[in-house]
Structures are given as structure tokens and as C-alpha cells.
Amino acid sequence: MTAILYSFRRCPYAMRARMALLASGQPVELREVVLRDKPAQMLALSPKGTVPVLALPDGRVLDESLDIMRWVLACNDPEAWLAGDDPELIAANDGPFKHHLDRYKYASRHGADPLVHRAEAAAWLDKLEARLERNYQLCGDRRTMADVTLFPFVRQFAATDPDWFSAQPFPRLQAWLAGHVASEVFTRVMIRVAAWREGDQPVFLR
């Protein structure tokens, strides 16, 4: 039996889980979810209703992206991504930066001033720029878990106002982001697949 991943193509949490699964070589069936019509099978596994959700052959369920990444890379980590598992850096991304990103990108939904939150988020990106002055990647000169974990969110920030982002004094961060977006692993996990319905032929992450 193969592991099953419930995912949503554009979700940054799901993106990073898919990248870790692909990099590890873990066989996994990919089930693309329509968020407004979540399948009952997924909700039975994880009632909180967020993606990604990984159902393992032994009956265990992992429904947090970092748990999925750490589990699969502990099984097989051919590029040594776990060498750059920086909990403090990842927590700053997933906490304060994500908070400001949401209120910048979805300001009307949150009743927020987008420029205030853009400035707060940019202050965090300035720290990443400084970090990239020392190394090509966030935890050294090779891509690791820190890079894969963070860049989908930096990508989302950049896409909110691409002209503004490209005009900022973040040359290393911009090059770092472009490199990850153009990478083979990201290109492969972003291939479009039809929304899953029960009875469909399995689609595998390749």
C-alpha cells in the first residue's frame, strides 16, 4: 500500500511537503483537493480540514507540513536537507512573517493596512538578505530544509506586488528565490493535476 497525500497545488504548506516527499523518493499517491469541497475521506483522517494531509500505510496520519517533511526526510534524505532544519528560523517564518504576509496579501479580509504589514514583512526579508550575504543558501551553500520551507512563502509575498518586490534592495534574496522557483523539484511538484474524486485512477507524485 502506498502513502496518500491530500494536497492543494497553490498552498505553500503543501508545496513544501510535496518537495520533501519528491526529494526523498517516497512513493506517494497525490490527491488534489478543492478547498471549498473537501473530500470526506480527507476530513475523516484530519477533521481540521487543512492541507497537506499524509495518510501512511500503517494507519498513521500526519497533517502538519513540517511533520511530513521531517518524517519523510528521516526515512531518506539523499540531499541532506535535514542538516538545515533550523527550528528558530522556520518558526519565525511560519509565525510573525506569515502573520504579516496574510495581512498584506489579504488586507481587506483582515481589516488591515497592507502597507504596514508589508513593511513588517520586509524587515524580516532584510534579515534573510543579510543571511544570504554569507552563504548561497540560508544554512550554507547547499539547499536544505530551511530553504525549501521558507521560499514558498517568500514567493507568495513577492507575487503580491512583483514590481515593488523587484525594486527592493534584496538582490541576493531575489536571486535565491528565482533559483528555487526554477528548480527541478519545484517545477515537478507544481504540475497541474485534476481534482481527485473517488474512483479516479491514482496519480503519483513523480
> Coil, helix or strand for 133?
coil
Say how far residue 4 (Cα) sits from the centre of its chain: 18
Q: How far apart are CA 55 and CA 51, in angstroms?
A: 12
Mean residue pLDDT of the chain comes to 98
Position 194 pLDDT exceeds 90: yes
What is the per-residue pLDDT for 192? 97
Q: How wide is the angle at C-alpha 47 spanned by C-alphas 43 and 53, nearest 5°?
A: 65
What is the per-residue pLDDT for 131? 98
What is the per-residue pLDDT for 25? 97
CA distances 12 to 93, 157, 174, Å, are 12, 11, 18
Domains 3-80 and 81-183 share a fold: no
Q: How far apart are CA 8 and CA 5, in angstroms?
A: 10
Q: Which CATH class is domain 81-183?
A: mainly alpha
What is the per-residue pLDDT for 128? 99
Q: What is the mean pLDDT of residues 124-136?
A: 98
Q: What is the pLDDT of residues 47-92, one digit of tens each?
A: 999 999 999 999 999 999 999 999 999 999 999 999 999 999 999 9
- % pLDDT > 70, the chain: 100
Q: How wide is the angle at C-alpha 43 spanned by C-alphas 60 and 70, nearest 5°?
A: 40
What is the per-residue pLDDT for 64? 99
Q: How far apart are CA 129 and CA 117, in angstroms?
A: 18
What is the per-residue pLDDT for 118? 99
Lookup: cell for 179: 533559483
DSSP E strand stretches across 45-193: 53-55, 61-62
What residue spans define the domains of the chain? 3-80, 81-183
Q: What is the pLDDT of residues 37-47, one digit of tens each?
A: 999 999 999 99
What is the per-residue pLDDT for 1? 84
What is the per-residue pLDDT for 189? 98
pTM of the model: 0.97
Q: What is 3-80's CATH topology?
A: Glutaredoxin (3.40.30)
Q: What is the mean pLDDT of residues 167-189?
A: 99
